[in-house]
Structure 1
Amino acid sequence: TISQHDKILDFTDQDISLAFLPLSHVFERSWTFYVLSRGGKNVYLQDTNRIKQAISACKPSTLCVVPRFLEKVYSAIQEQASKGSKLKQTIFSWAINVGTQKFEVSQDRRKNSLWLVLQYRVADKLVFRKLQNALGGQLKFMPCGGAALEANVASFFHAIDIPVLCGYGMTETTATVTCNTITNRVTGSNGQPLSGMEVKLGLDNEILIRGDTVMRGYYNRPADTAASFSKGWLKTGDAGEFDDNGNLYITDRIKELMKTSNGKYIAPQRVEGKVACCPFIEQVAIVADARNYVTALIVPAFEALDSWAKEKGIRYESPLELLRHSHVVEHFEQRLKDLQQELAGFEKIKKFTLLPTAFSIEEGLITPTLKLRRKKIYETYAKEIQAMYTKKMA
């Protein structure tokens, strides 16, 4: 694993890695071992609520992230930009456009020009450096995994010159199987296989993997081991496709696909990824399996919602009272309408319930890497879910 990463990453004994994901997860654990093997420094953060302060204090060269972290940073920046003057909004949009063009040049997908170079210098001074400094100012790259990253979020970070390297892997493969690199970043993809890794597509485009870092089997679980392999290839349970350059795209999580009562298949992470980019939404879990339309359990970002409520003159005495306010419900209805424009009609959330408390690790509703434990969530909020299907559609 160390030699595989040495070939694609520039990490030295002078670099610092901020570890804020749980070490119980193979992604962060494998990465921290890699950092130590290179002589770098690991800074461990126990309280993830202090990540902003930690980044400012240690100015990391890199940090492993999950899509939710990037979505929250992205939505916060977008919200802040929307509050600026018309001139500032225009400058911000122009800078992102320039940065996107410069990124394509860096990937040899577009020709450079003196005019673009000059524009980029101005955009960098006015916008990019400020955003980079907010993330410590020293980031060389950020490995990202654990779930699919929305293409528009990835494109934004590429544009402001904060390289996000999306990859694909599993605990069963000792983390990384494929990964984007500084010189090969294809938005929406998970990059090309590491050296020594074989990846192919099987039945129903299921991703199959073979290599030295793939597990031999599950401990004392021979039946599960046998079911997880096909002629020496690990069956991932994920469906994918390759582009002409060998970059892997995850198209579906086979084990997570939901089938509506109308026979339509829905990839929940796709829908949730679109919605999670909203600065007013902290967490979202959709419901669709064996149902005739999609609904959602939504945990609002209360700090942002509180600020909005004060601006609108909405008074309340408890979070629950705020969430039941008609203006708040209408606000989320409009947000969902805007966020779901790219989705097909059968994928769109038709009804939702705002929850006063977040999905937590302690209650077993999310994993240490912030993935939803859907079965447990559906059991916990069975009444709320049932109510969304017994009330008549508006």
Structure 2
Amino acid sequence: MQHATLTEQARHWATSQPEQVWMRDLTESGPTDYTWGSAVAEIDRVAAWLEAKFGHGERMALLSKNRAHWIMADMGIIHSGNIAVPLFTTHAQTTAEYILSFTDTKALFLGETENWHGVKAVLPEGCVLITLPGVDCDLPHTKWEDVISTAPAEAPSYEPGPDDTVSLVFTSGTTGLPKGVIQTHATNLIPMRRCQYLFTQREQPRWFSYLPLSHIAERQIVEFSSINTGGEIWFNESLETLARDLPQCRPNIFFGPPRVWEQLRQSITAKFGGAEALATALASDQAGVQALVRGALGMDEVEYCLTAAAPTPPSLIEWWDEVGVRLCEGFGQTEAMGLIITDPENRRIGSIGKPAGEVQVRIGDNDELLIKADGCTPGYYNRPEKTAELWQDGWLHTGDKVRIDDDGFIFITGRVKDYFKTIQGKFVAPPPIEGRFADNPHSEQQCLLGRGYSKTVMVTVLNEPARALPKEQVE
């Protein structure tokens, strides 16, 4: 059954399948499970405590590595009628200070994080600190367990609507100060429901959470998709234990940006003794090698493999095809997710796919992709001038340049503001050039620089195998 808000949808599963596992934390000592019934009960206790202490509509930050209590804290804030502000565990002190100050944050949920020393130095005066289980700190704070035990017995009174703000997700700020993208119940449920028919047809699918939940992609594709479907989330202990944890989970949907797929490729190639040895094995028994690779990765039950968040080199997609894993590109941004998606049965390599569901697209000035769809952000928090730039005449301006082929497949060709002028007065578009370098077997990341330089320079980060080669061979 589908409900219009995250709150109602989570409570639906807590009532209809209370003993079903929702979240599983993987650790060296073994897994810890949280059922729908027990987790939503904790969420409601946290929500009641927050509502009694703060009322509704306040901004509350969340700073922790991924774990079940990240989601419980997130949903506790949302259930209480307040607004979650996720922070990255890698945020610089200046960025954290800006976000906390700009949003007038009233509370912060603290878990394990790399940057607490910098963040605690810029906490707003009067900000209430709540520590997740197993976490302590040297500032006055309230423990999660004490929140649960002292919360009012009554359930929170807040009754959500689909257009109520639930979160502010801040962009990276590559073109200035970070912008807080307003997220509602609808903007988090509609996009994933639009794509769910491609992801999986299972009633209770499994997700593997290893990318930061503070990023909109992981939060929607994993957290909110699980709430939408009643599925199960397994939390990776750390990137160092990825190879151990992923085969335990055997997810049905797996999302990774191109860099993750490249790192996994390097790992597989190394295990086979190099690219030539792998090619020989594939030529001898492709089906056997494919089954071996999928099983070793823990992807033998994957129904949909999504790659997004950055351009994926066609050569990388073709390599994964060879070993039996079909990568599908998609397109979304913090302002609007689940817009364009690839059907694995109707794929064109190099394309981000076709519009999903009711999504309308058109090409505007400078070949910019314009979008009209349900479930898009209403705008930016306290930035009316930026909201006016984002929304014009009912169309969302993505900032991405595209072309659409005769069959309706969409290809990203660059960013509207990516162009730079050399000192010779020539305009240069980096993406096509960077794309050529991305096909180099030694290259992991690449960036073309030219503005303010006497010459145009390509900066390339070598992948791990290339770093072990003699300099002359790489050149």
TM range (shorter): 0.5 to 0.7
Q: Is the 8 A contact 2:352 2:412 kept in 1?
A: yes
> What residue is the counterpart of 1:332 in the other structure?
474
Are 2:352 and 1:190 equivalent residues in the alignment? yes
**Shift of the alpha carbon at 1:270?**
4.5
**Shift of the alpha carbon at 1:74?**
2.8
Q: 1:149 to 1:282 in 2, by over 3 A?
A: closer
Q: 1:74 to 1:259 in 2, by over 3 A?
A: farther
> What residue is the counterpart of 2:390 in the other structure?
228
1:241 is matched by which residue type in structure 2? Answer: R
Q: Deviations over 1:97-140 (max 9, x none)?
A: xxxxxxxxxxxxxxxxxxxxxxxxx4202x21122123212222
Q: Is the 8 A contact 1:74 1:277 kept in 2?
A: no
Q: Deviations over 1:212-233 (max 9, x none)?
A: 1122221211111112222111
RMSD: 2.8
Distance across 2 between alignment mates of 1:290 and 1:210: 37
Q: Is the 8 A contact 2:194 2:338 kept in 1?
A: no
Secondary structure at the residue paired with 2:254? coil
Distance across 2 between alignment mates of 1:274 and 1:78: 22
Pick aligned residue for 2:274 from 70, 76, 83: 83
> What residue is the counterpart of 1:49 in the other structure?
240
Q: Is the 8 A contact 2:266 2:465 kept in 1?
A: no
Q: How does 1:163-178 map to 2 (within 5 A)?
A: 163-173=326-336, 175-178=337-340
**Shift of the alpha carbon at 1:13?**
3.4
Distance across 1 between alignment mates of 2:231 and 2:382: 36
Q: TM-score of the superposition, structure 2-length normalised?
A: 0.54
Distance across 2 between alignment mates of 1:85 and 1:4: 42
Secondary structure at the residue paired with 2:260? helix
Secondary structure at the residue paired with 1:220? coil
2:315 is matched by which residue type in structure 1? Answer: N
> What residue is the counterpart of 1:218 in the other structure?
380
Q: How does 1:1-394 map to 2 (within 5 A)?
A: 1=190, 2-32=192-222, 33-45=224-236, 47-78=238-269, 83=274, 89-92=279-282, 94=283, 122-125=285-288, 127-136=289-298, 137-173=300-336, 175-275=337-437, 283-301=445-463, 305-306=467-468, 308=469, 327-328=470-471, 330-333=472-475
Distance across 2 between alignment mates of 1:54 and 1:186: 32
Q: 1:271 to 1:71 in 2, by over 3 A?
A: farther
Q: Is the 8 A contact 1:228 1:234 kept in 2?
A: yes
Distance across 1 between alignment mates of 2:202 and 2:215: 24
Distance across 2 between alignment mates of 1:49 and 1:269: 32
Q: 1:85 to 1:147 in 2, by over 3 A?
A: closer
Q: Deviations over 1:353-377 (max 9, x none)?
A: xxxxxxxxxxxxxxxxxxxxxxxxx
**Shift of the alpha carbon at 1:241?**
1.2
Give the % identical residues. Answer: 27
Q: Deviations over 1:64-122 (max 9, x none)?
A: 11011112223444566673767x64453x47xxxxxxxxxxxxxxxxxxxxxxxxxx4
Q: 1:13 to 1:148 in 2, by over 3 A?
A: same
Q: How many residues align?
A: 283
Q: 1:51 to 1:288 in 2, by over 3 A?
A: farther
